[in-house]
Structure 1
């Protein structure tokens, strides 16, 4: 029994998909039906229907056409690009009986070829004597968009195959012109036949070197040299993802919603909100959606806190909160942090040393390298915001050092008359950070929360 009852060629414009389709269609019993789900056409330009399905019927129900393709005699499939009808993609990817062929090409080659095709209007070539010529001009911003689109789609495909335990037949643009590779593909598909020669109906359109095809080749070289192809500047992030924590949100009847990133300046914010209108909390996602629907024009916010102050307050919570007794024991015994025994307090003179040790441990904890989980009070703010975004993105990221100005702006956006926000000291720890600050703490915080410093542009909390 054949292992596949259909196939899809995942490709993009100018990757050689026409040539690969021509090769597949020369195999007995194999039929590739072009770009069956291209919103601008059905299968091929100027066609009005495919396998008895009109373009209008396909647009109304793309799965109807996909079922027709699968049920057609022989082994049938089509080409699918990233901008084709997304409603059919899940059905393709989720079906192990559908063979996945992934055709790729050097992105700069496909980009240049695309520029030339657009300039000449020639998308396929059957004989070199009919070839139209043009020179491409490289646009760095346009190419980066092109590259990001290709990479995003490839990641989508790879993830879908991984989670479903499937594999694909990967083939490159150059491989599509290799008879032995094409016959390997035929064998993998279970076609039961081989090609005797490459398709003669199509030829390569622009065989010249890039230097001859790009009018501003030196500028292209310089732009590509600046691109971080291997993502060398990426800040590694192995911190576990967080949920949206909707039950912790605080709503004000006037239409303001506070999304706390604890430890946060909760008390003054709650007092400010309560002066505007009655508070509502302990939301579920359902009740928060209802709250939002009843309040058109609502605005939400969270407060960004400097990472060093955040770590300082988290350290104070570890030392002082009653429910942190087990955490203190683990930090003291397993990780040798200078945390006093239960019932004793950390002397002010030892606080800086203890905070430095805590920050060093936090760096490992945030990278999932310790036995303790990443707790909300010291989780990075970037990951916490990603968790919020699973339900809703806050309208405003309020900076703690300018809460009065930012919250006044938020209230104005929501059309709410609000009192002035009082200037408060956000350092609620028994030992103040300003009293024990040393440059080493600043450096430790920057190493531990490197992603937050980069994402939100934090400067030093204090300079010597």
Structure 2
């Protein structure tokens, strides 16, 4: 008996997923229903209803369809899923160890060219070679690079979900689809007793031959390959832990504004503004936040970025000076020889506070680099990691800057039809000015390189 109650094939267009599905469906006890969460079709072309659920029903909430697919399919049910399908369903699929993950990939250059030819000929499947339509297409380098970025980001999303839930997947390449042995290995992975004796030969390869022969501008291949960092050498290694989406910290107003606060940022002023607009909803889970979004069409999500040096100083004052993080205080005193006053008491001098803050910034650099071995408090994490965490749930509509916060909030208020708040400077700004020097500026830039580079932060004091 299979240890799985369902399966999903993660693939992309023109990777051979139709052929893989045909061979899976040839196994007694296995039924793959196609691209059931594709926004434009319901499993297959021209189908308008599946298990009594229409496309409109599915688009409102995909979960009932997933449930019925599993309950009403005889044998092991499954479906195909691409990066541009309805991502809401992943909350139910990815964490579920009882749902087998099959991952099909293909050389992205080949899949992109095949996709362009299919667009040009409107021939997406071929069963009769006599009806083959051929065409030469133009290779669009920027479009290809965007295509590559999208599928790589989706693969990383799947990989991270598998890693953090302790699951494994069955990986297939396009070239594996012609192997009876590999298909039988997949059957064994799925836990079904049936085996393939002969592969499905209904579907024919549409575009054989060298890649260059399919292009109007084959010289563009060299430009595309040159733009791809094959070994990922251009990426600055980051050992900072990935962050969760922070959904429980989100604030929602009845005006349709949704705020994802960044710890040690200017969140108090925005909370006060939301409270002035009426009921503030918070303490969400992903499911309840999606329900809120459905009830508030036209909603707008945002966060506020603060300069890394000021943000670190705010965290220092609260966590270390005021003593909110006693364990971290002990680490700085015992491990980094920081001279700290009892919690809540002021430093003896400007020099003493400056020295302690510099030690704190050096600790932040080690923490963000994964060198402390300790959990990285969200107040110390980079804003890049926190924003990426939110984006793993849903990309934000706006990233506002604190130095232009009044302008940014006025724009959001106008869109929501409410009055904008009065924004005042954080008192920490004056306090930081009193201790600022060049070593602090340098230490902040070293600790938060990702924020300075990614968000374009310049020096705090110019």
- State if a TM-score over 0.5 links the two structures: yes
Number of the residue aligned with 2:449: 450
Distance 1:183 1:392 in 2: 38
Residue of structure 2 equivalent to 1:133: 134
1:370 matched residue in structure 2: 372
Shift of 1:177: 1.3
Equivalent residue for 1:81? 81
Within the alignment, does 1:238 sit opposite 2:237 as a pair?
A: no
Counterparts of 2:89 and 2:327, CA distance in 1: 51
The SS at the match of 2:74 is helix
Task: Spell out the pairing of 1:154-173 with structure 2 (5 A cutoff).
Answer: 154-155=155-156, 157-158=158-159, 166-173=167-174
CA contact (8 A) 2:354 2:435 kept: no
Q: What CA distance in whole angstroms lies between the structure 2 residues aligned with 1:86 and 1:242?
A: 15
Are the counterparts in 2 of residues 411 and 417 from structure 1 also a CA contact under 8 Å? yes
Deviates more, 1:169-178 or 1:91-100: 91-100
Q: Determine the C-alpha separation between the residues in 2 that align with 1:300 and 1:18.
A: 37
State the number of aligned residues: 445
Return the alpha-carbon distance in structure 2 between the equivalents of residues 80 and 168 of structure 1. 14
When normalised by structure 2's length, the TM-score is 0.70
Contact residue 352 and residue 436 of structure 1 kept, 8 A: yes
CA-based RMSD of the aligned residues comes to 5.3
In 2, distance between residues paired with 1:285 and 1:26? Answer: 47
User: Is 1:35 paired with 2:34?
Assistant: yes
Which residue matches 1:461?
Answer: 460
CA distance in 2, matches of 1:157, 1:297: 29
2:172 is paired with a residue whose SS is: strand
Q: Report 1:253-272 matches (<5 A).
A: none
Change (3 A) 1:16 1:360: same
Residues 242 and 384, structure 1, Cα contact 8 Å, conserved in 2: yes
Structure 2, unpaired ranges of 5+: 59-63
- Pairwise CA distance, 1:395: 7.9
Cα distance change of structure 1 residues 16 and 437 upon mapping to structure 2, 3 Å threshold: same
Mapping of 1:209-220 within 5 angstroms? 209-220=210-221
CA distance in 2 between partners of 1:85 and 1:59 (Å): 13
SS at match of 1:217: coil
Q: Distance in 2 between matches of 1:163 and 1:88?
A: 18
- Taking the TM superposition and a 5 Å limit, the aligned residue runs for 1:385-464 are 399-402=401-404, 426-429=428-431, 433=433, 436-438=436-438, 440-463=439-462
Change (3 A) 1:209 1:55: farther
What's the TM-score, normalizing by structure 1? 0.70
* Alignment partners' CA distance in 1, 2:427 and 2:177: 66
5+ long unaligned stretches in structure 1: none
Q: Is the 8 A contact 1:24 1:32 kept in 2?
A: yes
Q: Are 1:41 and 1:55, in contact at CA under 8 Å, matched by a contact in 2?
A: no
Question: 1:175 deviation in Å?
Answer: 0.9
Give distance in 1, aligned partners of 2:334 and 2:18. 65
